[in-house]
Amino acid sequence: MVEEHFTEEEKNKLPKHVAIIMDGNGRWAKSRKRPRLFGHRNGVENVRSVVNTAREIGVPYVTLYAFSAENQNRPEEEKSGLMRLLEEFLKRELNAMLRDGIRLRAIGDLDGLPEFANRIVRETIEKTKHNSDWNLTLALNYGSRQEVLDAIHAYSQSDQNIGQKPEWDDFSQHLQTRDLPDPDLIIRTSGEFRLSNFLLLQAAYSEIYVSPLHWPDFDRTAFIGALRDYVSRERRFGKTSEQLFSLQSS
């Protein structure tokens, strides 16, 4: 059993931003001899649990890799089912988002989604834009390489940047995540050790946690276990342990 209570010292070490690659819905369903959409539906149900746990514990930013650009290669029936699940989720959760102060954001090419899915995402973003307590970002039709290419293009179009050496703080303002802190922790479920074109630049200093559980089984206890693992790590950002200890003691 994972201890759910965090000490004050541990709370100070909790990540501000957790990004999750929700993997394994299809394999979870296959292991139960059910269709892939059965796995996706159970995966959607698990989103509420993890987001609520993050809010209860005090993690203000959560980003979910919900639909990658590469997922456009999936069978039409599966893609259509996923988009309907997205629509159902946002309609069902809107009142809770407004009640709990959760702001929805989205990254990715929303115009590449079906019209009904594009519309409900944009409507929910608009209706929650004044919320500021908690932040849920959905990566939809998202690919990090394309995001970087788009950012390079936008950066190069600015007259003030012509002939200037790029600085990260300036360049990062052209990324879709410009209003978000970089993820402190990236969780991937289903035991896969790769980022799959997700937040490649933003993950430069992220801690990575891989769970063997498929996403529908990655419950509250598993999420808290990932957070416990994170707070036990030493994030050095290029410094030595001795330097960090000296800074903490001063």
Pick the catalytic residue: 71, 131, 161, 197? 71
- Among all chains, which residue has been given the structure tokens 């893609």? 79
Cβ pair 52, 95 in contact under 8 A: no
Q: Would you say 21 and 214 are in contact if contact means Cβ atoms under 8 Å apart? A: no
Q: What residues contact 220, with CB distance under 8 A and at least 6 apart?
A: 49, 50, 53
Known active-site residue 95: no
Map tokens 């079906």 to a residue: 114
Q: In a 3-state reduction of DSSP, which class is residue 106?
A: strand
The CB density around residue 119, as the number of other CB atoms within 10 Å, is 13
Q: Which of 23, 109, 182, 184 is catalytic?
A: 23
170 has catalytic annotation: no
Cα(156)–Cα(224) distance, integer angstroms: 42
> What SS3 state is found at 142?
strand
Q: Measured at the alpha carbon of residue 17, what is the angle toward residues 15 and 21, in degrees to the nearest 5?
A: 110
Active site residues: 23, 71
